[in-house]
């Protein structure tokens, strides 16, 4: 079957690009191996945010709870999460009925640079069911969980984020290997629900890709809530048993921690399984598929968006990259350079956009720092959310180079600065913009005026 565009993967990048392409008049085939909505909807962004919400609403009597009551609340939270996911999956399924879209279930493999075979595993053997040909192919297969190459990494009781999202019994002791976004969000959720949480992070600081000042403040805040951290620490081995025992080396000293459950949260890798990329000469690195500024691979007409290209593993980045790829396919002007904000849904939240101080220093770029604190904001005090800060980084003329926020609703506040950067506005433009009172947005105003 010939078509205008083949999209492999129905995560946010895949299904949103398919809808845009179909509305633009293209005939689109979307191939999905497993679940509509991809990792984000089924085992990532949406499920974790549901649990974050449930953890925030935990009854005070259970905030330090153990046993059946706490597990019952967790089971209710998981059930609510499942309801939300199913509702959103139904919405994606409806989108796949947009005129011009053909949804095909199965595993995709390249036959040649313009032909995709779709099949399924039968008795351990892959069997082709259908074949599609197109001048344009977008790979949007997402990512898979990484595992440390240490003894016991796959022992019983060592879970991935996907399995954590379906726990119905609250672990009394939870050890998390990895202090990135996934690790810290689960640490925040399960500590709030009553688990004793320990985080082991290999780097000097948690959230290695975030501003170090922000990350340190977040770690300090989570530590005050009862989470134990070991940074500059390398997990060495997981001993199976009841309890599990995790050996790690910290500052040259071998230590151990007992756990009922261990979460492996050391990142995600591009999902390249079964695509046969080498057979069609698509260039890859350990990070993922190599793409140019149009998201096109080294093979003309083949594109890669989202986690699979390793540029930035965020659902909204995949969607934005899909717009870039589609514009190139349709010979339209590409959107201006993408400015992608990031958020961590811990308590308190963290968010960033642009460069960190460390990145600016490493590049030898002069910058100015503009800060304001949540504790000086009336709305934050009224909300009992005075823990946090806003830091805006600019050049000497006021051009915004980056923004870093720690505190309540950081994931919402970051977009004012993202839009300002997108439009080329300066910090002076933010300072000259009237902000409603009392509101958390005034913290941004205070930083701009600092």
pLDDT digits (tens, 9 = 90+) for 80-136: 999 999 999 999 999 999 999 999 999 999 999 999 999 987 777 777 889 999 999
Q: Which of 235, 266, 297 is the last residue of a domain?
A: 266
Q: Across residues 259-266, what is the average pLDDT?
A: 97
pLDDT at 66: 52
Q: Is residue 408 part of a domain?
A: yes
Q: Which long-range contacts (CB under 8 A, 24 or more apart) does 243-246 make?
A: 243/173, 244/155, 244/157, 244/158, 244/175, 246/175, 246/177, 246/200
Kindly state whether residues 293 and 255 are assigned to the same domain: no
Rounded CA separation 306/313 (Å): 6
Kindly state whether residues 245 and 165 are assigned to the same domain: yes
pLDDT at 69: 75
Rounded CA separation 247/235 (Å): 6
**Whether the predicted pLDDT of 253 surpasses 90:** yes
Domain count, the chain: 3
Closest CA to 321 of 331, 333, 335: 335
pLDDT at 353: 98
For 362, the token pair is 């490493």
Domain of 232: which CATH number? 3.50.50.60
pLDDT at 94: 97
The order of strands in the sheet holding 158-159 is 158-159, 261-264, 173-177, 196-200, 228-230
* Helix (H) or strand (E) run with residue 428 in it: helix 427-431
Kindly state whether residues 202 and 285 are assigned to the same domain: no
Kindly state whether residues 25 and 90 are assigned to the same domain: yes
**Whether the predicted pLDDT of 35 surpasses 70:** yes
Domain of residue 354: give its range. Answer: 348-449
Domain of 375: which CATH number? 3.30.390.30
CB atoms within 10 A of CB 445: 22
Q: Is residue 443 part of a domain?
A: yes
Q: Is the peptide bond before 438 cis (omega within 30 degrees of 0)?
A: yes
Average pLDDT value over all residues in the chain = 94
pLDDT at 63: 53
**Whether the predicted pLDDT of 59 surpasses 80:** no
**Which residue among 35, 154, 409, 437 is the active-site one?**
437
Kindly state whether residues 201 and 72 are assigned to the same domain: no
* Weakest mean pLDDT among 32-46, 63-77, 343-357: 63-77
pLDDT digits (tens, 9 = 90+) for 212-236: 999 999 999 999 999 999 999 999 9
Q: Across residues 270-277, what is the average pLDDT?
A: 92
Q: Is residue 375 part of a domain?
A: yes
Q: Is residue 338 part of a domain?
A: no
Model confidence at 333, pLDDT cuts 50, 70, 90, reads confident
Q: Is residue 396 part of a domain?
A: yes
Rounded CA separation 187/429 (Å): 38
**Whether the predicted pLDDT of 142 surpasses 90:** yes
pLDDT at 315: 94
Which residues are within 8 A (CB) of 302 and not within 5 positions of it... i.e. 6 or more apart? 113, 136, 137, 138, 139, 280, 282, 296
Active site residue 437: yes
Model confidence at 61, pLDDT cuts 50, 70, 90, reads low
Closest CA to 54 of 85, 86, 84, 76: 76
Q: Across residues 301-320, what is the average pLDDT?
A: 96
Kindly state whether residues 88 and 215 are assigned to the same domain: no
Please give the backbone phi and psi of residue 90, each rounded to the nearest 5 degrees, phi first.
-65, -35
pLDDT at 374: 98
**Whether the predicted pLDDT of 23 surpasses 70:** yes
Kindly state whether residues 68 and 216 are assigned to the same domain: no
Kindly state whether residues 183 and 208 are assigned to the same domain: yes
Q: Is residue 226 part of a domain?
A: yes
């Amino acid at each position: 079957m010939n078509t205008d565009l083949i999209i492999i993967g129905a995560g946010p990048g895949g299904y949103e690009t398919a809808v845009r392409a179909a509305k633009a008049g293209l005939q689109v085939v979307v191939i999905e191996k497993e679940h509509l909505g991809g990792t984000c909807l089924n085992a990532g962004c949406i499920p974790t945010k549901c649990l974050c919400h449930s953890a925030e609403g935990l009854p005070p009597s259970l905030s330090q709870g153990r046993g059946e009551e706490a597990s019952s609340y967790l089971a209710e939270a998981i059930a609510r999460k499942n309801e939300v996911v199913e509702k959103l999956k139904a919405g994606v399924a409806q989108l796949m009925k947009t005129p011009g879209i053909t949804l095909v279930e199965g595993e995709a493999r390249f036959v040649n640079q313009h032909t995709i075979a779709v099949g399924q595993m039968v008795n351990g053997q892959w069997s082709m069911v259908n074949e599609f040909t197109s001048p344009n192919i977008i790979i949007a297969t997402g990512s898979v969980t990484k595992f440390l190459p240490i003894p016991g990494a796959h022992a019983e009781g060592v879970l991935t984020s996907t399995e954590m999202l379906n726990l119905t019994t609250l672990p009394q002791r939870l050890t998390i290997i990895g202090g990135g976004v996934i690790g810290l969000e689960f640490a925040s959720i399960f500590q709030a629900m009553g688990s004793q949480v320990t985080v082991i992070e290999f780097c000097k600081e948690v959230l290695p890709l975030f501003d170090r000042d922000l990350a340190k403040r977040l770690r300090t805040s989570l530590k005050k809530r009862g989470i134990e951290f070991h940074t500059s620490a390398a997990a060495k081995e997981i001993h199976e048993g009841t309890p599990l025992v995790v050996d790690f080396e910290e500052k040259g000293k071998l230590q151990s921690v007992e756990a009922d459950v261990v979460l492996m949260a050391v990142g995600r890798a591009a999902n390249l399984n079964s695509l046969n990329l080498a057979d069609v000469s698509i260039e890859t690195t350990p990070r993922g598929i190599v793409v140019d500024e149009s998201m096109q691979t080294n093979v003309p007409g083949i594109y890669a968006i989202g986690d699979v290209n390793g540029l930035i593993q965020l659902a909204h980045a995949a969607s934005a990259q899909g717009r870039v790829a589609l514009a190139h396919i349709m010979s339209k002007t590409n959107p201006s350079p993408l400015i992608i904000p990031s958020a961590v849904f811990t308590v308190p939240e963290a968010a960033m956009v642009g460069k960190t101080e460390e990145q600016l220093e490493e590049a030898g770029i002069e910058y100015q720092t503009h800060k304001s604190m949540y504790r000086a904001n009336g709305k934050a005090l009224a909300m009992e959310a005075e823990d946090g800060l806003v830091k805006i980084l600019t050049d000497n003329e006021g051009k915004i180079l980056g923004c870093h926020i720690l505190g309540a609703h950081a994931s919402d506040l970051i977009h004012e600065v993202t839009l300002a950067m997108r439009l080329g506005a300066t910090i002076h433009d933010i300072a000259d913009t009237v902000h409603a009172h009392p509101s958390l947005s005034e913290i941004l105003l205070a930083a701009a005026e600092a």
